[in-house]
Amino acid sequence: MYLRKGKNVMRIVLELLRIILVFGLLGGFLWVLVKDMYTWNIVTIQYQWLAGIGIYIILFILYRNVWQFRGWYTKFRRFFFNG
């Protein structure tokens, strides 16, 4: 029983590490691509933060609908994000 619990803990740790890396690296890469579009016009510079929030919302929805089911951690019940 102890070994099984240890495997589950390791899967959860690996899944959390994967989430952090995906959101950090992919979110950062997408921000590098998008941030230059907000420097073309002086008026739009103050709205750069909306692009950052939009990127992380898109990544969250992709994670909940696609990437969550390809990870190491398997849940008993899986739900899609319909919102």
CA distance 43 to 79: 41
- Rounded to two decimals, the pTM is 0.65
Three-state SS for 41-56 is CCHHHHHHHHHHHHHH
pLDDT digit string, tens, across residues 23-77: 899 999 999 988 888 788 888 888 888 888 999 999 888 888 777 766 555 555 5
Helices and strands in the chain, H and E counts: 3, 0
